[in-house]
Amino acid sequence: MPGRPRLQLLILVVTLAATAFTLAACGGDDGAGDTASTGDGATTADAAEGCRAVQQPEPRRVKERKRPSFRLARDKTYSAKIETSCGDFTIRLDSQRAPRTGGSFVTLARDDFYDGLSFHRIVPGFVIQGGDPNGDGTGDAGYKVRERPPSDIVYSEGVVAMAKGGAEPGGTSGSQFFVVTATDSGLEPDYALLGEVTSGLDVVQIIGRVPTNADQPLAPVVIDDVKIEVK
């Protein structure tokens, strides 16, 4: 039909433009308010390369609750081993610069909050994001804490920080966290610091290469367990 190729080209241009805008969005900025879709691909049991085949977790209802008072002791070293369907990686929590944020994360981990949740948002060459009980970027821990990150922080490869909603004050966090996979993400110092990956960065990069549709992984990546070690 005359004019159809031109229409198809227009649709393609619009689609590519929308995709470019999505990838330019901040990895943590949309945290609690992320609008990632939950398409049919999210329920597949097919495994991404280097990962174990798993089912997409069902959304988990979380009630509002009192935020924890626990803070990391500055004279101790805290590590969080994140066991996933794609392998394990370890985060050294920053007890010096983020004792409150780390204390919240440790409390959730010890309550098995993260077990069975997914990495719901993957932006190749930028970040991987998980820790949402709803599995679509809209869920949280049932409370918020706030701890401003260092003003000179650089969100570089392996740095772990907490996601937040775009309208929330800097340093606000709940349960969602992201790991930077870019050499330098270029993010502003607005996201609460959690720590840094000390081992298993190759696993983080494997997760970061999982095929996606609008930042949503086509094959589920699930957190099996988060183990806390204190020295």
Domain hosting 127: range is 27-230
Establish if 6 belongs to a structural domain: no
pLDDT at 14 over 70: no
The CATH number assigned to the domain holding 76 equals 2.40.100.10
Band of residue 45 on the pLDDT scale cut at 50, 70, 90:
low
Establish if 86 belongs to a structural domain: yes
Establish if 51 belongs to a structural domain: yes
**Residue 94, helix vs strand vs coil:** coil
Phi-psi region at 200: left, alpha or beta (left = phi > 0; alpha = psi -120 to 50): left
Sequential DSSP letters for 12-62: HHHHHHHHHHHHHS-TTTTGGG------GGGG--PPPTTS---PPPPP---
Establish if 1 belongs to a structural domain: no
- HSE toward the beta carbon, residue 121, CA cutoff 13 A: 33
Q: What is the mean pLDDT of the chain?
A: 85
Establish if 90 belongs to a structural domain: yes
Handedness of CA 93, 176, 168, 213 (dihedral sign): positive
Q: Are 149 and 171 in contact (CB under 8 A)?
A: yes
Residue with tokens 């110092």: 189
Q: How do the residues of the chain divide into helix, strand and coil, expressed in percent and rounded to 5?
A: 20, 25, 55
How many separate domains does the chain show? Answer: 1
Establish if 14 belongs to a structural domain: no
| Euclidean distance between CA atoms 6 and 176, whole angstroms | 43
Establish if 5 belongs to a structural domain: no
List beta partners, residue 87: 84, 85
* pLDDT, tens only, 162-195: 999 989 999 999 999 999 999 999 999 999 999 9
Residue with tokens 């392996």: 158
DSSP tag of 149: P
What count of residues does the chain have?
231
Establish if 224 belongs to a structural domain: yes
Band of residue 18 on the pLDDT scale cut at 50, 70, 90:
very low
